[in-house]
Amino acid sequence: MRTTVGIVGAGPAGLLLARLLHTAGIDSVVLESRDRAYVEQRQRAGILEQGTVDVLRAAGAGARMDREGLRHDGIELRWAGRRHRVDLPALTGGRSVTVYAQTEVCKDLIALQLEEGGPLLFGAEALAVEDAGTARPRIPFRHQGRADVLECDYVVGCDGFWGVSRKAVPAALSRTFERTYPFGWLGVLADVAPSHDELVYARHDRGFALLSMRSPSVSRLYLQVPAGTDAESWGDDEIWAELERRFATDDDWTLERGPITQKSVTPMRSFVHEPMRHGRLFLAGDAAHIVPPTGAKGLNLAVGDVVTFARALVHRRETGSADLLDAYARTCLGRVWQAERFSHDMTALLHRAPDATPFEDRLQLARLERIASSRAAEADLAEAYTGFPLD
């Protein structure tokens, strides 16, 4: 097989890149090792930054998002029984975020790709990325029991942390930056209407909690738990009781309970691989960087990566200049490290470390008080939360 851009991985990054290239008249082939049902059911992020929303709309993939997504103009911070709302549009010149699950983004992009775009091969396992440092990179893959090779002008690795793409960068050139946190998130889906109309981030002496949602009738909630926790070790009543403790306020707000339909534990880590480009291979999304979910940046960073690549390739076609392609890693990493900073800061602000001292507890409370009392501090949070510019 032969194409201009070989895309490894059909998560939101790979699918969006295929869509962006298609609308620009550039051919691509997407290789995805899993089947369609798995990709469309894989529970991941649910918060879309303003820039991500704008890109999906411009790509013709925003119709259902606009109908069913939940626009949020604020988030709520809670600590010591207090509640403080951060007004996102007022602090950012009108920007907001939208709750729309990654599963739904993938469904929309898959439908468009199968109807209008180039080949999207499910069950196609990429075995390696070869000759990345040459003008003709290759992707050997296995599909429907047969071995094949995809020859490309460019390869974009959107195959996540465990994929083959990053392994094609020579070890002598690779640098990794990583932090593993001593806690994770116990996440649950519950068939109950959200108890608040915006996301609630709670700092508590027993640990962090987050109230989110997937729809007007389905709640998504999280509890900070020790690393390595087995989700099934928590009973449903125990989960609701702990959520009530951590979300408790000094007013009459109450947390509504409902049937828990899913439990899982998400480990927390920060990771960056440099460089994000080697020859004709470009890394995007989790293949190059991972953030703790506190800042809601993972999917949005991946979108920024593929938008940067698509714009650079269109620029190359229209002008003959490779300047933007050559600047890909530098452009993306500037945004990546700001997102890493913000995600780490939010994690440190709201989570209680197992060995936290009273001094550190007081610092957390002081930082929250500063956000609540200073428009400048509040605006810094709001600007980062709604997204760093894609330009």
Please give the C-alpha separations between residue 20 and each of 17, 59, 69, in angstroms, as whole numbers. 5, 6, 21
Q: Which residues on neighbouring strands pair with residue 120, listed in sequence order?
A: 30
**Please, is 128 exposed, middle or buried when counting C-beta atoms within 10 Å of its C-beta (0-12, 13-18, 19+)?**
middle
Active-site amino acid positions: 72, 201, 293, 297, 385
Please give the C-alpha separations between residue 42 and each of 9, 36, 200, in angstroms, as whole numbers. 13, 10, 24
Please give the C-alpha separations between residue 316 and each of 72, 278, 311, in angstroms, as whole numbers. 37, 17, 9
Fold of 2-72+98-178+268-352: FAD/NAD(P)-binding domain (3.50.50)
Rg (CA), the chain: 21
pTM for this prediction: 0.95
Q: What is the pLDDT of residues 292-325, one digit of tens each?
A: 999 999 999 999 999 999 999 999 999 999 999 9
The whole-angstrom distance between residue 67's C-alpha and the CA centroid of its chain comes to 22
**Please, is 251 exposed, middle or buried when counting C-beta atoms within 10 Å of its C-beta (0-12, 13-18, 19+)?**
exposed
| Long-range Cβ contact pairs of 313-322 (< 8 A, separation 24 or more) | 313/5, 313/21, 313/24, 313/26, 313/154, 314/24, 314/26, 317/26
In three state form, how does the secondary structure of 147-174 look?
A: EEEEEEEEEEECCCCCCCCHHHCCCCCC
Please give the C-alpha separations between residue 7 and each of 11, 19, 225, 355, 391, in angstroms, as whole numbers. 10, 11, 36, 43, 23
Task: Report the distance separating Cα 248 and Cα 82, nearest Å.
Answer: 9
Task: Report the distance separating Cα 160 and Cα 127, nearest Å.
Answer: 14
The whole-angstrom distance between residue 66's C-alpha and the CA centroid of its chain comes to 19
**Please, is 183 exposed, middle or buried when counting C-beta atoms within 10 Å of its C-beta (0-12, 13-18, 19+)?**
buried
Angle separating helix axes 12-23 and 50-58, nearest 10 degrees: 40
- Report helix, strand or coil for 322: coil
**pLDDT in the model for residue 157:** 98
Using DSSP bridges, classify how beta strands 260-274 and 175-190 pair: parallel, antiparallel or unpaired: antiparallel
**CA quadruple 264, 267, 271, 273: dihedral sign:** negative
Residue with tokens 């180039």: 118
Element (H, E) at 11: none
Q: How many CA atoms lie within 13 A of 261 on its CB side?
A: 11
**CA quadruple 106, 107, 108, 111: dihedral sign:** positive
Residue by residue, pLDDT tens for the chain (391 residues) are 999 999 999 999 999 999 999 999 999 999 999 999 999 987 677 899 999 999 999 999 999 999 999 999 999 999 999 999 999 999 999 999 999 999 999 999 999 999 999 999 999 999 999 999 999 999 999 999 999 999 999 999 999 999 999 999 999 999 999 999 999 999 999 999 999 999 999 999 999 999 999 889 999 999 999 999 999 999 999 999 999 999 999 999 999 999 999 999 999 999 999 999 999 999 999 999 999 999 999 999 999 999 999 999 999 999 999 999 999 999 999 999 999 999 999 999 999 999 999 999 999 999 999 999 999 999 999 999 999 888 7
| Residue-range domain boundaries for the chain | 2-72+98-178+268-352
Please give the C-alpha separations between residue 364 and each of 357, 367, 386, in angstroms, as whole numbers. 11, 5, 22
**pLDDT in the model for residue 236:** 97
273-307 as b/e: b if 16+ CB within 10 A:
bbbbbbbbbbbbbbbbbbbbbbbbbbbbbbbbbbb
Contact between 240 and 143 under an 8 Å Cβ cutoff? The reply is no
